[in-house]
Amino acid sequence: MRNTIKKHIHFLPGPDDITACSTFFFIRARATKFTDGARYGITATKRTFKLAVNRNRAKRLLRDWIRFCETKLCPDLDYIFIARHGILDATRAQGRTALKKALHHIKKLNDTKNANN
């Protein structure tokens, strides 16, 4: 899956965003306007990671974890993954487990939100 979000306006938080946290990352999800499946965007800010090497490593780890869990992404949501400083100390297994839990949490919240509407 290579359907990424690139425009700055799509990264801005909205009032209807569903969120999930981990020590490694923060996820925001919102309903998509496109029909070709889930899209995602990744950010690793200079404020969090002073060195470009660390920013690139954080994004690389997140991309790997997303590829591993892409079947868990809801096709009707867009996801924004924000790297946190703890990601640099995470192992591949820890990250994949944390991402699975966070995506399950978002799916559950999305299902309850859709059931209430």
> 69: domain range?
16-116
Angle of CA points 73, 77, 79, to nearest 5°: 75
Q: Is 32 inside any structural domain?
A: yes
Whichever domain contains 30, its CATH number is: 3.30.230.10
Residue 1 pLDDT > 60: no
Per-residue pLDDT of 59-97, as tens digits, reads 999 999 999 999 999 888 999 999 999 999 999 999 999
Q: Is 1 inside any structural domain?
A: no
For residue 29, the Cα-to-chain-centroid distance in whole angstroms is 8
Q: Is 7 inside any structural domain?
A: no
Could you tell me the pTM of the whole model? 0.89
Q: Is 25 inside any structural domain?
A: yes
| pLDDT at 35 (0 to 100) | 76
| pLDDT at 32 (0 to 100) | 84
Residue 114 pLDDT > 90: no
Q: Is 81 inside any structural domain?
A: yes
Report the number of distinct structural domains present in the chain. Answer: 1
One-letter amino acid of 27? I
Buried residues in 21-53 as b, exposed as e (16+ CB within 10 A): ebebbbbbbbebeeeeebbbbbbbeeeebeeee
Q: Is 34 inside any structural domain?
A: yes
Q: Angle, nearest 10°, between helix axes 92-116 and 52-68?
A: 60
pLDDT bin (cut points 50, 70, 90) of residue 57 is very high
Per-residue pLDDT of 20-47, as tens digits, reads 988 899 999 988 887 788 889 999 999 9
- Quick one: residue 37, left, alpha or beta (phi over 0 = left, psi -120 to 50 = alpha)? left
